[in-house]
């Protein structure tokens, strides 16, 4: 079977358009005036949109697709689905329906590979207790796979990336390092079995909202998922949208085994550089070593959720989350922002 990662130049969320480039483009586009029912849109780089249906129910809408990050079609299908579903979970919603986005070269791609891809997607959507309701396919030079997902949330209780409060405690639910380990896979220095821990993490659903009762749910003031812009880029978006500064202790960050060594060996992507450039005016990284900076800039695919939690309820929230996300941990605190500094690592 062909190695999917060898058919593309970039894989997974590392293939995203750089955050600074995307902001520059979007700032020049005149979008329609938002409806009154549009509760959350893309202006603060939230993970999904929220549209009010009635006083009790709102829709959560998102889409996500990318090029292969793994060689095995079934596993890639699972990761692509988990990554797309994550955006609904990051808003505090639960996914309900999904439509498949698939592009592949008809002339060279075996039909059985497509079956395995879609089976991976189908099994992960089933695990999320959602439904596949259709999709769209095109003949293209490179494989691209993802989902458009619709979910539900309460009209009066959902998460955004702009409600962090000074004194909140920051929780990260998954380990960091998918970017460098999958870069090593693409260069064929490792195989999928050697990075099974990374693959399993990318396949895991970010189903945090389903784990929490209403009291613990409301203890989470703000949330986002960590994907292609790395911890540093997504934390910056969240801190800036909230007008706060994140004080993060690098020694508390959960990393996959061998992550720093992989970075030191030079298994990098373009996103390591662009993510660093994105925050250069707004993040204090002076106390970090070079490989530590690369770790926080590492582009994650289907990474964890970053949660800003009420300090008085953080122990209860973390205890509940760790039943499913065993690497979840406290990584820092939210403080008032001074001048243009939104991130501080030590």
CA–CA separation, 167 vs 310, rounded Å? 7
Which of 176, 103, 146 is closest to 328 using CA atoms? Answer: 176
pLDDT in tens, 7-33: 887 776 677 778 788 888 988 988 888
Please name the residue that has the structure tokens 């770790």: 295
Q: What are the Cα distances from residue 47, in Å, to 86, 95, 202?
A: 9, 13, 17
Of 13, 153, 245, 297, catalytic: 13
With beta carbons less than 8 A apart as the criterion, state whether 80 and 205 touch.
no
- Residue-level pLDDT, tens digit, the chain, 346 residues: 678 988 887 776 677 778 788 888 988 988 888 899 999 998 888 999 999 999 999 999 999 999 999 999 999 999 999 999 999 999 999 999 999 999 999 999 999 999 999 999 999 999 999 999 999 999 999 999 999 999 999 999 999 999 999 999 999 999 999 999 999 999 999 999 999 999 999 999 999 999 999 999 999 999 999 999 999 999 999 999 999 999 999 999 999 999 999 999 999 999 999 999 999 999 999 999 999 999 999 999 999 999 999 999 999 999 999 999 999 999 999 999 988 899 999 9
Cα–Cα separations (whole angstroms), residue 15 to 18, 145, 148, 171, 227: 9, 12, 18, 26, 11
Mark whether 164 is an active-site residue. no
CATH 3.30.1330.10: which residues of the chain? 4-154
Cα separation of 67 and 262, whole Å?
22
Which residues partner with 151 through β-bridges?
Answer: 60, 95
Backbone φ, ψ for residue 323 (5° rounding): -65, -30
CATH class of domain segment(s) 169-345:
alpha beta
Q: Which fold has domain 4-154?
A: 60s Ribosomal Protein L30; Chain: A; (3.30.1330)
Domain with CATH 3.90.650.10 in the chain: 169-345
């Amino acid at each position: 079977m062909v190695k999917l990662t060898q058919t593309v130049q970039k894989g997974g969320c590392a293939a995203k358009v750089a955050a600074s480039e995307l902001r520059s483009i979007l700032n020049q586009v005149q979008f329609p005036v938002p409806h009154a029912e549009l509760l959350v849109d893309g202006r603060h780089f939230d993970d999904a949109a929220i549209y009010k249906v009635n006083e009790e129910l709102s829709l959560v809408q998102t889409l996500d697709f990318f090029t292969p990050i793994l060689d095995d079609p079934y596993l890639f299908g699972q990761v692509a689905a988990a990554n797309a579903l994550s955006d609904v979970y990051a808003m505090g919603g639960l996914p309900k329906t999904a439509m498949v986005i698939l592009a592949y070269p008809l002339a060279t791609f075996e039909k059985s590979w497509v079956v395995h891809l879609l089976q991976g997607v189908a099994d992960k959507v089933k695990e999320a207790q959602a439904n596949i309701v259709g999709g769209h396919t095109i003949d293209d030079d490179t494989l691209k796979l993802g989902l458009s997902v619709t979910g539900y949330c309460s009209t009066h209780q959902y998460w955004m990336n702009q409600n962090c409060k000074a004194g909140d405690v920051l929780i990260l639910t998954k380990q960091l390092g998918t970017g460098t380990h999958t870069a090593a896979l693409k260069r064929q220095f490792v195989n999928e079995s050697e990075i099974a821990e990374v693959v399993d993490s990318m396949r895991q659903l970010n189903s945090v909202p389903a784990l929490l009762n209403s009291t613990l749910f409301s203890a989470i003031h703000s949330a986002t998922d960590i994907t292609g812009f790395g911890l540093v880029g997504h934390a910056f978006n969240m801190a800036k949208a909230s007008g706060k500064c994140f004080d993060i202790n690098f020694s508390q960050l959960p990393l996959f085994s061998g992550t720093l060594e992989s970075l030191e060996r030079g298994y990098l992507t373009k996103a390591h550089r662009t993510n660093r450039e994105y925050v250069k005016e707004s993040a204090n990284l002076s106390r970090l070593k070079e490989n530590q900076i690369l770790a926080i800039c590492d582009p994650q695919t289907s990474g964890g959720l970053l949660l800003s939690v009420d300090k008085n309820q953080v122990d209860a929230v973390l205890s509940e989350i760790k039943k499913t996300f065993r690497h979840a941990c406290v990584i820092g605190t939210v403080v008032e922002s001074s001048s243009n500094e939104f991130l501080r690592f030590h």
